């Protein structure tokens, strides 16, 4: 059987509780208000139980058993989350998520700034290399053009030498 504990600061409910416990050997107790047994509650419970249990030892034992049961139940419930715990956790998680989102946004902005800066630097380097390459290409173009004209001249002279040789051979 499960034991549920109910203790209220109100004497009326406490009397009903004691009557219920005494009338039923298998008693159920429900914990509502008192998270742990306070000394005032223990004394009230002892006084009220003496009305139904005349023997002080038995009444004290009865109160002690109730206190042990409450403490045992509270130890089990200490590890359980309450609605307020979950609500607090939800608020903390929302704050953490908001903080992380803000941090991600800031890092994204910083990363975009770094990317933009590197892009500008890279474009500058590319422009410089392009200009250097154009100078080299233009220099090589001039040299290549000279070589082509020189080769054309050499070929022209070779052809002219060949024509002169043929003409001189024909005249002889």
Mean pLDDT calculated for residue range 125-136:
93
Mean pLDDT calculated for residue range 35-39:
56
Give the pLDDT band of residue 97 (cuts 50, 70, 90).
very high
Measure the CA–CA gap between 59 and 46, rounded to whole angstroms. Answer: 6
H or E stretch covering 52: helix 39-52
- Give the distance from CA 155 to its chain's centroid: 78
Mean pLDDT calculated for residue range 54-66:
80
The larger pLDDT score, comparing residue 102 to residue 69, is at 102
Q: Burial level of 34, CB count in 10 A (0-12/13-18/19+)?
A: middle
**What is the model's pLDDT at position 155?**
95
Quote the tokens at residue 13. 């409910």
Give the pLDDT band of residue 78 (cuts 50, 70, 90).
low
- What angle do helix axes 39-52 and 56-78 make, rounded to 10 degrees? 140
Measure the CA–CA gap between 152 and 107, rounded to whole angstroms. Answer: 64
Sequence-ordered list of residues with C-beta below 8 angstroms from that of 2, at least 6 positions apart, any chain: 28
Residue pair 53/62 in contact by the 8 Å Cβ criterion: yes
């Amino acid at each position: 059987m499960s034991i549920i504990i109910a203790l209220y600061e109100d004497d009326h409910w406490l009397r009903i509780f004691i009557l219920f416990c005494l009338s039923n050997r298998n008693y159920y107790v429900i914990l509502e208000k008192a998270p742990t047994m306070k000394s005032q509650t223990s004394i009230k419970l002892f006084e009220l139980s003496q009305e139904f249990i005349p023997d002080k030892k038995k009444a004290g034992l009865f109160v002690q058993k109730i206190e042990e049961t409450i403490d045992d139940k509270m130890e089990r419930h200490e590890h359980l989350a309450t609605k307020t715990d979950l609500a607090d956790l939800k608020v903390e998680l929302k704050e953490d998520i908001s903080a992380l989102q803000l941090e991600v946004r800031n890092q994204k902005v910083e990363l975009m700034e770094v990317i933009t800066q590197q892009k500008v630097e890279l474009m500058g380097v590319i422009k410089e290399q392009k200009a250097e390459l154009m100078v080299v290409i233009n220099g090589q173009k001039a040299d290549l053009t000279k070589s082509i004209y020189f080769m054309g001249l050499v070929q022209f002279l070779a052809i002219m030498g060949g024509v002169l040789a043929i003409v001189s051979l024909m005249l002889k």
